[in-house]
A and B are shown apart, each in its own frame.
Chain A
Amino acid sequence: DQQVKQNSPSLSVQEGRISILNCDYTNSMFDYFLWYKKYPAEGPTFLISISSIKDKNEDGRFTVFLNKSAKHLSLHIVPSQPGDSAVYFCAGHKETGANNLFFGTGTRLTVIP
């Protein structure tokens, strides 16, 4: 059962415009959500996180929004740059135990110069 879902496998955006990547989850026990970025032939790298008690977290060009009532979060990238082209994974974190990250299937973002 997929506890974290990313329903858009791919997204294309023009350079300079906003990229919005979406993520839905089913497990109300997640206490944090994380976004990872992955380039080809590399491992995922941590990008930004948000606590379940907050509705927004911002870090430079990256902002994550959380809507708990809808069990939905989104990652906004403004302005988008060609170097942002990568696969983005959303993950939910559960505090209990060490088995604590549940990943979505990823969204491939392509930023067109």
Chain B
Amino acid sequence: NAGVTQTPKFQVLKTGQSMTLQCAQDMNHNSMYWYRQDPGMGLRLIYYSASEGTTDKGEVPNGYNVSRLNKREFSLRLESAAPSQTSVYFCASTPRPGNSNQPQHFGDGTRLSIL
């Protein structure tokens, strides 16, 4: 059981380049999330998708776009990468929000460096 799979695991970009981070889950979860983790900042929510066909902004959405391609896949796009977007990005999913007995499951992250 793969759970939440993120690709790529590592990426180096130049300022201004674009990139799409991929996330797929095989647990038939309804809700999916994108976080970034920075030193001293914990995990901050970028965008989320409560269910297939819906997306909403989180705490730090500027500079990002998302697509909920289908129930399994939720991608994060950087249209014009900036050094401030250097971070570790985590995708997560949950059967549905609002139930702590079904907490969010995380992928192993994408480490992104913008030069």
Contacts and interface: CB of A to CB of B under 8 A. Distances in A.
A and B held together in a complex: yes
Interface of A: 2, 4, 6, 9, 31-32, 34, 36, 41-46, 49, 51, 89, 93, 95, 97-101, 103-106
B97 A44 contact: no
Contact of B100 (A34, A41, A43): A34
Given A89-B43, A97-B97, A98-B48, A43 B58 contact: no
Interface string B16-56: 00000000000000010101000011111100111000001
A55 B27 CA distance: 32
Interface of B: 4, 31, 33, 35, 40-45, 48-50, 56, 58-59, 90, 92, 97-98, 100-101, 103-109
Contacts of B42: 2, 4, 6, 89, 103-106
B56 A99 contact: yes
Nearest to A33: B100
Contacts of A43: 4, 90, 92, 106-109
A9 B42 CA distance: 11
B34 to A, nearest CB: 12
